[in-house]
Amino acid sequence: MKFNFKALVKKTLPGFLALIALITLFSATPAQLSALAAPDSITIGVLTTTDMHGRIYNIDPLTGNTVNNSFLKVATLVNTQRAALDGTIVIDNGDTIQGTAMSSYNVNIEGGENNPLAICLRYIGYDVFVPGNHEFNYTLDVQKRFYDMLAAPTGSTLPGNPVPAVAANILDVVTEEVAPPFKPYIIKEYIVGEKTFRIGVLGFTNMNVPNWDPASHYEGMKFAHAGNTQQYYAYEWTNYWQDQLRNVEKCDIVIVSAHSGTGSSRESQITHFISNTTGIIILTDRATATTWYIKPSYGPQEPMFPSPAMSQEAASVPVPCSHLGQLQPLLASRTSTSCISMIIIPCL
């Protein structure tokens, strides 16, 4: 009988290739397995709230009037976007625990015990809380109860998950390290194809707190490093956090959430910050409730104030937060085989 080599190859090759694939699969590292399962492109939603001022429900309990910008509506929007997107980063930009009858009753009558705003942030599943100046309206004891609630572990008596309190410019007056319970930033990781993208979220509270609140409400803290005589965020970013996030943490994308308004003063310095920094993809502010996209250059190039002429990679048009769920796509970072896109979703 004549030996038919072609027929043998045709019959056995599929099984042989399958065996090789299995051997490769079982010898792969966990990271390689994750890359095989990961998509080539994902879209992450960055959802932001600011100046919520104690608005929990969609009805004002004193007047019966409808409240259009409440945490109840935020919860609905966040759930909808989580179901629609590949991932989300949810940020509250401060001025949260002050402003309504309910929040005032909790602080003034109950001493901040079981703060309902901490429960909101945990239950919705915020990734970051950046304190505003109004958080310093209250005593350190009231503040501590709020931050202890945010930090309580999953599975405690509180619903939801821990929410990091992030503020890179709340410093210990002696060591100039970031003062507890705050941390300067968080890092989120997303596997896209063969690439693990790292997204850093850096927070700044308002520099002007000492001009508004009693010193006993921030005892042992200060709001800028000693060399930052003009108290600008740009100094803090350039001298302390740009290298840390870009070169040490290897962040592909940096988001800065600053509780400050448009301008160049100590109180409202977003214009100055944009004009004097590079290396930041997304900046959210508080007073104008605006999200800005900033030129993501990491070399010695000139900073660029947002303008419609910028490319998609450095999208520029400010996004007003006045419309629930307004979307603006931003191609944030990519490699030859992997891409991560951001959608900015101002919640209120």
Tokens, residue 345: 């979703």
Q: What is the pLDDT of residue 334?
A: 63
Cα 141 from Cα 163, distance rounded (Å): 19
pLDDT at position 283, please?
77
pLDDT in the model for residue 319? 33
**First-to-last CA distance in the chain?**
81
3-state secondary structure 79-144: HHHHHHCCEEEEEECCCCCCCCHHHHHHHHCCCCCCCHHHHHHHHHCCCEECCCHHHHHCCHHHHH
> What confidence score (pLDDT) does residue 40 get?
86
Query: Closest Cα to residue 88, out of 348, 346, 342, 347?
Result: 342
What pLDDT is stored for residue 24 in this prediction? 44
Q: Are 271 and 288 in contact (CB under 8 A)?
A: no
- Nearest CA to 96 out of 59, 65, 124, 62 is that of 124
State both tokens at 25: 């699969």
Residue type, 67: V
As averages over each run of 10 residues, the pLDDT of the chain (348 residues) reads 48 48 48 58 88 91 87 92 93 94 94 97 97 97 98 95 98 98 97 91 96 98 97 96 94 90 89 84 63 47 34 33 38 64 67
- Domains of the chain by range and CATH? 41-346 (3.60.21.10)
Residue 280: predicted pLDDT: 76
Residue 30 pLDDT: 54
Instruction: Give, in degrees to the nearest 5, the angle at Cα 326 between 322 and 327.
Output: 145
Q: Which pLDDT score, from 0 to 100, does residue 261 have?
A: 86
249 and 240 in contact (C-beta within 8 Å)? no
How high is the pLDDT of residue 336? 61
Q: Which residue has the tokens 């290298």?
A: 243
